[in-house]
Amino acid sequence: MNPWREMRGMPRDLWILAAAILVNRIGSMAVPFLSLYLIRHLGHDTAVAGLMLGSYGAGALLGATAAGRLCDRIGPGSILIGSMLASGGLLLAYPLLRTITALAVVTFALAATAEAFRPASLVVVTALAPRDRRKPAYAFARLAANLGMSIGPIVGGVLSELWFPSLFLVEGATSLLTALLVFVSPLRHRSRGVQMDDVPPSLAGGPASRDPILLALLVGVLLTGMIFFQFDSTLPLYLVRHLEMPGYSFGALITVNTLLIVFLELPLNSATAHWRHVWALGLGATLLGGGFGALALADGPFTLALSVAVWTFGEMILTPAATAAIAERAPVGRMGEYMGLHSTTTGLSFMLGPSAGLLVLNHFGPQVLWPCALAVGVMAALIFGTATAKIPRQTSLQADTVALEAGPVEQMPPEVVPSEDAAARGGAETGLVVSPEAAGSSRLGPSTDVASLRQARQPAPCPSSEPAYDPPPCLDQNGTVRGGQRGSLSSPPSVDAAGRERSPRMQPPRGTRRPTPRAMMASVSRGTSPLQGRSLLAARRRSSGPNLPRRMTRRRLRRRKRGG
């Protein structure tokens, strides 16, 4: 599988966001070396280093939650720029600090501003990617982040040997560069937040704490995050102390994890984009827990690499699927809040996972730690399955309403009401009538009643006299749907020489071209009509250029029909 082929269809703005994430993550080198900076360069003890790390964790939790709500107020583009400007300024000033109080306050503020970048970037990815391509889009953003994180610590290690304060100066410069990149790009104006006062109560919904499915998803993310963060906390100690392996063995396992993510995550999520969340989340959590649980049986480089490969596949499936599932629970105008809760839960797992893992490893040993990781993974899979088993594939109030806001009325189902005078109001052929409110607006804004747009189309009442030809679907006096067996015919059936009734062939509306075989096959695969399939193919040609052939030869068509 070629991951670069999957990248061609990504929107241009998503490429710009991925470049900003890459630059930001390449510069993320101060926090991994923060403890060494405080102890080796400033001369503080380990208690002060622990205090600063705790201050950073608290600031990260507060910053992610607040940034998510601000994304809904002022837009994620402004949050991206403000986050990088504020964190860049604090990083440039960090080498000037000496007192413990000043270090604690600035560390807290630095975490709050720097971690605000994550929920804002998730909101932008969700807004840029189509609903059925969100998982590959999240994987694409993760690809940029992992590439940056694989480069940043290496550069940080070199700079720490030259001059320790240069880590903060370089990261501050990359943060300012990221802010500049977002400022000069269309991301600054993209996906402005919806004011909560403009959202009707029926769409805004209640507090997130009243959504049991969301709470279950967040609990599953917390548990799987606690498992995942054993990778850089207890796993190095297990390799060195218990397996007596050299220190570079952990670096080799990091390389295995990074290579699998770079080359396989994007095509893997493209292949599993149609999966229901119950399968993706359950399989991802099981593989993640099973990979760490298999470390109890690992006794050499091959078995260690195999276990890392197993939980890496779980990570690649689970993380984009969990983000997409949480995004689909977000009501209109509150995507930032829900992405902030997701980022906050991930940060909480980063705080709890390593401490709990080290506690179990020091008191009970690896024979208890890794089976516990397997048990927690299975528990998370059961929680995910219970939460998402009853969710259909296409149930998203956010996605439906955003699509209604973005598309013209001609492409969206208007509000329909039954009427006896359907012919006089333009509904003779379908038996449907467009309401004056929906017909008079060129776009459906956020104040549109989504419940009325989702209601089923009701046929008009049947006429009093029985027509001589098959009528369109209608309701009789008993409420039974009648007619429509052969569709709505524009003319009555003809009679041949023998007096037998002959129905005319169904023809597309005047002015439309006959769909090509390729358009018909595309419509069958997507569950749409052939005419819609033609428009979908035209949209794909416009987005991919000359890569898509314009017609299918008869030989290929016959081969497709034979199944070869």
In angstroms, rounded to a whole number, what is the distance separating the alpha carbons of residues 66 and 344? 10
Least confident span in 237-251, 330-344, 540-554 = 540-554
pLDDT the model gives residue 369: 95
pLDDT the model gives residue 504: 46
Least confident span in 295-304, 343-352, 381-390, 458-467 = 458-467
Q: Of 548 and 45, which is predicted with more confidence?
A: 45
Alpha carbon separation from 92 to 88, 166, 170 (Å, rounded) = 6, 9, 8
Listed residue (140, 172, 136, 125) closest to 24, CA to CA: 172
- 374 with 289: CB under 8 angstroms? yes
Least confident span in 130-139, 171-180, 391-400, 458-467 = 391-400
Mean pLDDT (the chain, rounded): 76
Alpha carbon separation from 387 to 214, 232, 329, 560 (Å, rounded) = 8, 29, 12, 40
Least confident span in 223-227, 314-318, 395-399 = 395-399
Residues 6+ apart with CB under 8 A from 348: 61, 222, 225
For the segment 51-70, what is each residue's pLDDT rounded down to a tens digit? 888 899 899 999 999 999 99
Q: Of 351 and 432, which is predicted with more confidence?
A: 351
pLDDT the model gives residue 482: 57
Query: Confidence class of residue 375 from pLDDT cuts 50, 70 and 90?
Result: very high
Query: Confidence class of residue 405 from pLDDT cuts 50, 70 and 90?
Result: very low
Instruction: Decide if pLDDT at 145 tops 70.
Output: yes
- Tell me the domain boundaries of the chain: 1-192, 208-403, 407-463
What number is the average pLDDT over the span 168-184?
Answer: 94
Tokens (6 digits) for 307: 């276990």
Query: Confidence class of residue 46 from pLDDT cuts 50, 70 and 90?
Result: confident
Instruction: Decide if pLDDT at 454 tops 60.
Output: no
Beta bridge partners, 460, equal 474
Query: Confidence class of residue 85 from pLDDT cuts 50, 70 and 90?
Result: very high
What number is the average pLDDT over the span 408-436?
Answer: 38
What number is the average pLDDT over the span 150-169?
Answer: 87
Tokens (6 digits) for 259: 């290579």
The conformation of residue 501, written as its DSSP 8-state character, comes to E
In angstroms, rounded to a whole number, what is the distance separating the alpha carbons of residues 198 and 191? 16
- Homologous superfamily of the 208-403 domain (CATH): MFS general substrate transporter like domains (1.20.1250.20)
Q: Of 94 and 468, which is predicted with more confidence?
A: 94
Q: Give me the architecture of the 1-192 domain, per CATH.
A: Up-down Bundle (1.20)
Count of beta carbons in the 10 Å neighbourhood of residue 220? 28
- Residue 502 phi/psi, 5-degree rounding, is -125, 125
In angstroms, rounded to a whole number, what is the distance separating the alpha carbons of residues 355 and 349? 10
* CA-CA-CA-CA torsion sign (552, 553, 555, 561): positive
* CA-CA-CA-CA torsion sign (224, 352, 165, 62): positive
Query: Confidence class of residue 49 from pLDDT cuts 50, 70 and 90?
Result: confident
Same CATH fold assignment for domains 1-192 and 208-403? yes
Least confident span in 318-332, 337-351, 415-429, 499-513 = 415-429
Alpha carbon separation from 488 to 394, 459, 462, 493 (Å, rounded) = 29, 12, 13, 12
Rounded percentage of the chain residues whose pLDDT exceeds 70:
65
Count of beta carbons in the 10 Å neighbourhood of residue 301? 13
* Helix (H/G/I), strand (E/B), else coil: 502: strand
Instruction: Decide if pLDDT at 14 tops 50.
Output: yes
Instruction: Decide if pLDDT at 503 tops 80.
Output: no
In angstroms, rounded to a whole number, what is the distance separating the alpha carbons of residues 154 and 410? 54
Listed residue (408, 399, 447, 404) closest to 127, CA to CA: 399
Alpha carbon separation from 203 to 217, 326, 396, 457, 538 (Å, rounded) = 21, 17, 12, 22, 34
* CA-CA-CA-CA torsion sign (281, 396, 274, 68): negative
Query: Confidence class of residue 490 from pLDDT cuts 50, 70 and 90?
Result: very low
pLDDT the model gives residue 498: 55
Instruction: Decide if pLDDT at 102 tops 90.
Output: yes
pTM for the full predicted model? 0.67
Beta bridge partners, 461, equal 475
